[in-house]
Structure 1
Amino acid sequence: MPKTREILEQMGEQIKLARLRRKLSAQLIAERAGISRQTLNAIEKGSSTVAIGSYAAVLHALNNLDTDFLLVAKDDEFGRKLQDLELPTRKRAPKKGKL
């Protein structure tokens, strides 16, 4: 999907810039993340074939930037509205003597 590809490319660029700002080598980050240098290169290019766990490992290797993953779908307003529409409405049992 084109929009997803754009987001991953932007994320990859931001990861690369974060690494460069910290003056950390690609080899060091790859080692800290437990991935190959080639996988890090793919992440920095925004590859959609790399597992999200590898993205998270790289963000963690860049001094705990992986906590931002907690923001993903945190406030799913649309999903909550859909859920609310499907909630059953409770009907009261008839009162005694009014059958």
Structure 2
Amino acid sequence: MIFPQEQRLLSALGERLRLARLRRKLSNAVVAQRAGISRTTLYKVEAGDPGATLGSYVRVLAVLGLENDLQTLAADDKVGRKLQDLALAPTRRPRAASKRVAAPAPSSPDDTKGTQ
């Protein structure tokens, strides 16, 4: 099952690949042969068919000289970095009382008079 938004993404990718092939003046038979896939599979890739394998997409990208574009996929994981940063942030602890200890007052015999 594929969601409509994902299908739109695949269709747009397929269209970009088709346009890249046409700009290079390559026939679908030539691209399919160089990619080692059937023309039917190439049609599926260019249509954004979710049944086409990722390997087929990669082979077509390679034939068109666009394989390095894969390096940009998910390269800037902003959400993942934010979640990681939140987990790494130090937790705030309540401040402890001052570590200075008051010196005890000198005891004198008069201090014990009122306690009995």
Q: Which has the higher relative contact order, 1 or 2, with Cα contacts under 8 A spaced 6 or more apart? A: 1
Q: Which runs of 4+ in 1 moved over 6 A?
A: none
Partner of 2:77: 76
- Could you list the runs of 5+ residues in structure 1 that have no partner in the other structure? 91-99
Give, in angstroms, the shift of residue 23 of structure 1: 1.0
List per-residue Cα deviations over 1:12-59 (Å, max 9, x = no partner): 111111111111110110111111110000001000111111101101
Report the number of matched residues: 89
Which of the numbers 54, 60, 68 marks the counterpart of 1:52? Answer: 54
Distance 1:89 1:35 in 2: 53
Which protein is bigger by CA-based radius of gyration? Answer: 2
- Could you list the runs of 5+ residues in structure 2 that have no partner in the other structure? 92-116
SS of 1:47's partner is coil
Instruction: Provide the TM-score with structure 1 as the length reference.
Output: 0.83
Cα RMSD of the aligned pairs, angstroms, is: 1.5
Partner of 1:42: 44
Aligned identity (percent) is 49
